[in-house]
């Protein structure tokens, strides 16, 4: 299978590209390297450097690659930034998606998998939310991901695409940018490894469903290879663990993974606009229909992430 991975040099996208290569797929990557890095690409995977909002460029890439399937990971991924810059968020997460969808339809791609969101889409939930829960987004990021799913649903119906939206929990693991605004695990781990106390926004009682990036990549592979979805050609799946962990507990477990040299106490800052109080996902649908279940528990995932952060500490920047 020929697969184009947008955002494939980034955090989640590069793991998806690796997993597809291991499955024997012919993989190409489209990425503007605004947050991704060439070093993340699997050996032998072609990189087309450019922006998903550039319709002419995207069309040329599709004509050259002729993908049978698309894994759309490219996104503006920060809730906080979406609150500050809602037009930018819509530009990337809605209009950029439409550019890719139009090219996919014109060039004959048959399967399309969209990286979506669970927490930001459902709003505050203290019990695991299933896919049938009504959308109640509380940030521009959540609104735009929901709009993206609806556009994908329409394209599936109108253009014969087989489409899947994967609603991620809070993805963490190696290659997550500790200098970004999203990715609390990477931010905390990097600060603690460097001997600095990280900032907890709010009181730290906020809960999230943390899912390891390799498990998320495997969900993408299953979604690309699964039989076509049913009526309408569209299916949404949550990708999470069903376990809610509060920020204070997360900090303590990362600190334990770092070891005794970690600073003992974090710094507390004010809550950030758009942040949810609680989020946890019910992933029984993807387990039943695609056979996906998380395989890496939080402590093991944190251990692997801290080991990666240690290896990166002091490493010079590269493209």
pLDDT tens digits, 259-308: 887 777 888 888 887 788 899 999 999 999 999 999 999 999 999 999 99
Three-state DSSP state, 4: strand
112: left (phi over 0), alpha (psi -120 to 50) or beta: beta
How far CA 304 is from CA of 102, 173, 252, in Å, comes to: 39, 7, 16
Told to judge if 212 belongs to the known catalytic residues of this protein, a careful annotator would answer: no
> What local confidence, expressed as pLDDT, does residue 318 receive?
45
Residue 81 has pLDDT above 80, yes or no: yes
CA dist 222 and 286 (Å) reads 9
Dihedral of CA atoms 149, 154, 158, 161 in degrees, nearest 10, equals: 20
pLDDT tens digits, 191-239: 999 998 888 888 889 999 999 999 999 999 999 999 877 656 999 999 9
Q: Map out the domains of the chain with their CATH numbers.
A: 2-171+211-239 (3.40.50.720), 172-208+243-312 (3.90.25.10)
How many CA atoms, within 13 angstroms, populate the side-chain half-sphere of residue 266? 24
Phi, psi of 164 (to 5 degrees): -135, 135
Residue 143 has pLDDT above 50, yes or no: yes
Mean pLDDT across the stretch 69-83?
95
> What local confidence, expressed as pLDDT, does residue 315 receive?
53
Of the residues 48, 122, 141, 251, only one is catalytic, namely 141
H or E stretch covering 298? helix 298-312
Dihedral of CA atoms 75, 77, 81, 86 in degrees, nearest 10, equals: 40
296: left (phi over 0), alpha (psi -120 to 50) or beta: beta
pLDDT tens digits, 24-71: 999 999 999 999 999 999 999 999 999 999 999 999 999 999 999 999
> What local confidence, expressed as pLDDT, does residue 203 receive?
87
């Amino acid at each position: 299978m020929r697969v184009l991975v947008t955002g494939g040099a980034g955090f989640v996208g590069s793991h998806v590209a690796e997993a597809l290569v291991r499955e024997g797929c012919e993989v190409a990557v489209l990425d503007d390297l605004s947050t991704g890095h060439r070093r993340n690409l699997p050996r032998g995977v072609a990189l087309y450097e450019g922006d998903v909002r550039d319709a002419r460029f995207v069309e040329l890439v599709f004509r050259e690659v002729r993908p049978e399937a698309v894994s759309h990971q490219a996104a503006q991924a920060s809730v906080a930034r979406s609150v500050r810059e809602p037009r930018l968020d819509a530009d990337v997460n809605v209009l950029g998606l439409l550019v890719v969808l139009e090219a996919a339809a014109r060039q004959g791609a048959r399967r399309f998998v969209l990286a979506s969101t669970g927490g930001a889409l459902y709003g505050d939930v203290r019990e695991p939310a299933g896919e049938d829960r009504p959308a109640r987004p509380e940030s521009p990021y959540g609104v735009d991901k929901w709009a993206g799913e609806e556009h994908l649903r329409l394209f599936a119906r109108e253009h014969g695409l087989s489409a899947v939206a994967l609603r991620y929990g809070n993805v963490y693991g190696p290659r997550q940018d500790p200098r970004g605004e999203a990715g609390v695990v990477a931010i905390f781990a990097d600060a603690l490894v460097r001997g600095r106390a990280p900032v907890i926004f709010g009181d730290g009682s906020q809960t999230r469903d943390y899912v390891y990036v390799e498990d998320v990549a495997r969900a993408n592979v299953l979604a690309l290879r699964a039989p076509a979805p049913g009526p309408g050609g569209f299916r949404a799946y949550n990708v999470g663990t069903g376990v809610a962990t509060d920020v204070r507990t997360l900090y303590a477990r990362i600190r334990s993974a770092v070891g005794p040299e970690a600073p003992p106490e974090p710094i507390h800052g004010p809550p950030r606009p758009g942040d949810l109080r609680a989020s946890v996902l019910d992933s029984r649908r993807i387990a039943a229909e695609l056979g996906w279940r998380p395989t890496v528990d939080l402590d093991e995932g944190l251990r692997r992430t801290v080991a990666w952060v240690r290896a990166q500490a002091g490493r010079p920047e590269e493209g």
